[in-house]
Amino acid sequence: MTAVQFQRATKEITSGFLGRHKRILDDVSFSVVAGQIHGIVGHNGAGKSTSLRLLTGCSRPTSGVITLFGESPTQASTRRRLGFAPDIAALPLDLRAEELVAFVAAARRLERVDPRAAVERVGLEFRSEPLRSYSKGMQQRLSLALAILGDPDVWVLDEPMSGLDPQGRQLVRQLLIEHRLRGGTVIFSSHSLADVDALCEHLTVLEKGRVAYSGPARELIGVAEFEVEFVGVVPIEGLERGVHGSVAVVGADGLRAFLTRVPDARVHSILPRVPDLATRMATRR
C-alpha cells in the first residue's frame, strides 16, 4: 500500500521585492510504501524541507499531485493521520510542556493523554517551567513528542536528529524503529549518512530540487560498487556506521545492521556520501 505519493510535483515561490520566481522542486516523483522508513537526503537547499511541508497540506504544489493514502493532504481528515515535526522546533516559549500537550491533544481529539508520559517518551524530564528555560535539544525532543502524540500513521520528521546529543539520536532511532514495527510509516530528512543508513529501507535523494535517486537504500549502495561481505546480522541498537576494530558496519535496513570484516582501515575512508552516489548513478543511466 502506498502511503505517500509525489507525482510530478513542482513548487515555485516568489521572493524578493520584484517577486522573482524561484523553483524549489522540479518535477519530483516518488512514493513511500506504508510500513517503511523512508529517508530524504540531499544538500542544503535541495528541497527536502519543502517536500515535507507539502505533505502537511500547509503548502500546495504549483503543479503536480501529492497524495497521502490516496487523498489530498489538504483535507483535515487525511492530515489527522500525519504527525509533523519541523526542522526548527519553533514552539511558544512562554508556555509549559503540559499546556502544549493539552492543546495538541484537544486539537487532535485525543482522549486521556498523560502529559508526563508524552514528554518522558522522548527522554525529557517532566518539568513545570516555560519552554524558554529548555535547551535547543530539549525543545527539539518536545517538538518530536508533540508530533507523535497519539501515534499518527505517518510520522513526517524534518531533520529529527539535529541538535540532539548521541543518547537523543539513539532514542529517536529507537522510536522510529518501534513505530515501523507497529506498521507505521516514517518519512524523515537528514544530512547524516549514518542516520539514513542505519534506519532507511528506501531513500529519495534530492539535488537542486530534482530527484536524483529514489529506491531501495541497498540498491543505491550496490550501484556504487561498494563491496560488502555479510558475515552476520545483529541488532542495530548501539551501532554507528564505521570501522570498529576489525569489523565495519556498512549498512542497515532499519531493523538490522550488516557487518563485514575489514582487512585494513581503508573501508572507512572510501565510504561514499549518498548524494555523490546518486549523481554517479544518474550519470550511468
Partner 1 sequence: MLYAATRFIVLQQLRSRAYVVILAVGVLLVVGALALSELSGGESARVVEDIGLAVIALSVSVTAVTLALSSFSREIATREIFFSLVQPMPHSVAYLSRFLAGTFSVLVTNMILAGLFLAILAAVGAPDPLPRVFVACMVGGLEAIVLLAIALFLGIGSSLAVSASVMTALFVVGRLAHDLEILVAREAFGPTTVVLEACLWILPRLDRFDLTWWAGATGWAQAVAAVAYGVVYALGWVLLGLVRIERRDFH
Give residues in contact with partner 1 (CB under 8 A): 11, 13, 24, 50, 53, 56-60, 76, 79-80, 82-84, 86, 88, 90-92, 94-95, 99, 103-104, 106-108, 130, 146-147
Report, in Å, the least distance between residue 199 CB and partner 1: 22
- How many helices and strands, by DSSP H and E, does the chain display? 10, 13
Cell 524558554 found at? 132
Residue type, 75: Q
Report, in Å, the least distance between residue 146 CB and partner 1: 8
C-beta of 109 vs 285, nearer to partner 1: 109
Rg over alpha carbons for the chain, rounded to the nearest Å, is 19
Residue type, 283: T
Report, in Å, the least distance between residue 5 CB and partner 1: 19
Q: Which three cell numbers stand for residue 27?
A: 518535477
**Cα separation, 94 vs 195, whole angstroms:** 32
C-beta of 136 vs 268, nearer to partner 1: 136
Report, in Å, the least distance between residue 85 CB and partner 1: 9
134 alpha carbon, distance to own chain's centre: 23
Report, in Å, the least distance between residue 150 CB and partner 1: 10
C-beta of 13 vs 223, nearer to partner 1: 13
Cell 550501484 found at? 223
C-beta of 25 vs 243, nearer to partner 1: 25
Order of strands, edge to edge, in the sheet holding 2-15? 20-33, 2-15, 63-68
Report, in Å, the least distance between residue 27 CB and partner 1: 17
Report, in Å, the least distance between residue 43 CB and partner 1: 19
55 contacts 68 by C-beta, under 8 angstroms: yes
Report, in Å, the least distance between residue 11 CB and partner 1: 7
**Cα separation, 113 vs 92, whole angstroms:** 20
Nearest Cα residue to 23 out of 34, 12, 37: 12
Q: Which three cell numbers stand for residue 244?
A: 570498529
Q: Classify residue 75 as exposed, middle or buried by CB count within 10 Å of its CB (0-12, 13-18, 19+).
A: exposed
Q: Which three cell numbers stand for residue 165?
A: 546529543
C-beta of 92 vs 242, nearer to partner 1: 92
C-beta of 1 vs 76, nearer to partner 1: 76
C-beta of 151 vs 229, nearer to partner 1: 151
C-beta of 131 vs 252, nearer to partner 1: 131
Q: How many CB atoms lie within 10 A of CB 215?
A: 14
